[in-house]
Amino acid sequence: MPISACPPGAARPVLTRRAPPRRRGRLPLLALAARAQARAAPALPSRADARSSQVSEDAAAPQQAAPNAASAPDWANGGRWSFGLQGAFGFQNPVPPRGEHIKLLYAQPQAELNLVRFNRGPVGRFDWLSEGLLGGAVSPAARIIGYSLLFRLEGRTRGNTKPILDFGAGINNTTLDQHVYELTGGLQFTPQGGLGIEHYFGPQRAVVFEYRFLHMSNNGIREPNHGFNAAVFSVGIRWLRRPKGANWR
């Protein structure tokens, strides 16, 4: 009933206000979202896990490098030793004013030992070359047997081809002195040097083309000692031995 309608002397009723409904705060929702995000995010690795992963990567590095070394180019995948056989034809140059024009024909078995490899510069290898001489002269007919100690510089490759430079000297026993006036005695020395190329056509296999300037004389042991010069052209095959290990230098 309305307050004004209360009878006199009666106690007025006490009016009470309802409390407004409580709103749910945002803090519980934020806590739930953070908890879900923590479950979805991956756990950060500890220091021990990081060290173990680094060790495993270092151990796997040589295994990855081994296939790269094994797949090295044909001209690089060689050991310390290589072998070859060349056939040479040479002729006296210049032609003498008198006498017979000397023409040479012989074989050159070779064994090559690598001494130094260079990582920089135009030269790739410095080798010691042991070379035999088996043959003689075809004009006039004569025999020549000898041995040459040479040094070889190998350049960098261009495609499958690399340049070479040979220089050294040899000692020979020949019967050519019995037919030409330029030589005296059967013991003759042959300082020589020249340029060439090696072209690789297969694994550790190369064909060699070379030109050399050769001088033959007895070095003044007997007189007269005219000697003669020759231009020598040769072609042959070179075989490189496979290296013992992929990381050999």
What is the pLDDT tens value at each position of the chain, 249 positions in all? 454 555 565 555 555 556 555 555 555 666 666 776 666 656 555 565 556 566 556 555 555 444 444 444 645 556 789 999 999 999 998 877 766 689 999 999 999 999 999 989 999 999 999 999 999 999 999 999 999 999 999 999 888 899 999 999 999 999 999 999 899 999 999 999 999 999 999 888 999 999 999 999 999 999 999 999 999 999 999 998 776 654 443
Q: Where are the domains of the chain?
A: 81-240
> How many residues does this entry show for the chain?
249
CB 204 within 8 A of CB 242: yes
CB 83 within 8 A of CB 111: yes
Q: Please give the CATH number for the structural domain made up of 81-240.
A: 2.40.160.20
Cis peptide bond upstream of 122, omega within 30: no
